[in-house]
Amino acid sequence: MVNSEIRLNLLSLIGLFTIVNAISAFGQSTVLPYSINNPDTIFSLPDDLKEISGLSSYLFSENLYAVQDEKGRLYVIDGNNGEVLKKIPFWKEGDYEGVEMIPDGSIWVVKSNGNLYELRERGEEDNFHLRRHKTGLLKQFDIEGMGYDTASKLLLICAKGRPLAALTEGDIVRHVYGVHPENGLLHDKTPYLTIQLKDIQKFILENKSEEQKADFHKFFNLEKDDEMPFGPSGIAVNPNNGDIYIISSVGKTLIVFSKEKKIIAVEKLDKDIHRQPEGICFNSNGVLYISTEGKKDAPALLMKFFPK
């Protein structure tokens, strides 16, 4: 199936005029090396990927891997034109939320319950040996994204749902967990990264204009600290500097952590462009891709951002 490539100067001709209006109105980021609300290119995806839920770069290629949250299939997408090149079944139906290809050539897929699927080619192209791993993460954590950190050599798995601490300490944190690809087990009992509401609020108050604070206030109530309005739906590590990018469809927000795990950017995602952002990855040249699920009669989109 061949997909249509959608470039920004053609959007109004194919019925996506609202996105053009949103791009011109929302403005550009002054912090990130990407104009996060001004994609350089947008591709529409076929109906089979309407619920696209995870993205990964493909080693030594411009291609991407994708998964969707109903079928046990890998999708190979051409990163230059958005065309789906292959559909590769790997397991039965399930709620698949993230995919990551790591430097040793293995491909990892994570389900919402925290279970991992390790795929390794065995001689023939696209003929995979599959191993399943139970990470020990709980179903209630609602896993929704996976990336890979070359520095620590860990798979990074982010949880959209409340951690156990929310039962006693309040709903004020979200966690990212590290997993060893050698055995599929958690790196440590403690999370790899903790996203704290107070840190997000502090960054917004100290670094945003009054107008921006008002916009963030709708989701990150800057006067209350009892409910976390950020539910990670995708995670990726920038190969150029090790920064960790985490997107949330809830609240339409991107938070960037340095490799030292300090917040260095909080950006509001325009809801007319990033309708339901769930997939994020970088290629080896630092080009950023974000995917958003389709809505009703609107297709899923794959957006491409070149570093500035």
pLDDT value, residue 274: 97
Angle at 1 between CA 84 and CA 7, to 5 degrees: 65
pLDDT value, residue 76: 97
pTM (2 d.p.): 0.89
Q: Are 90 and 137 in contact (CB under 8 A)?
A: no
Q: How many domains does the chain have?
A: 1
Mean pLDDT of the chain: 88
Q: How far apart are CA 190 and CA 70, in angstroms?
A: 30
For the cut 90, the answer to whether the pLDDT of residue 17 exceeds it is no
118 dihedral zone (left: phi>0; alpha: psi -120 to 50; beta): beta
CATH of the domain at 20: 2.110.10.10
Partnered with residue 40 across adjacent β-strands are none
Q: What are 165-199's pLDDT values in tens digits?
A: 776 677 889 999 999 999 999 998 889 999 999 99
pLDDT value, residue 167: 66
Can you tell me the mean pLDDT for 101-116?
97
Query: Domain range for residue 143?
Result: 5-305
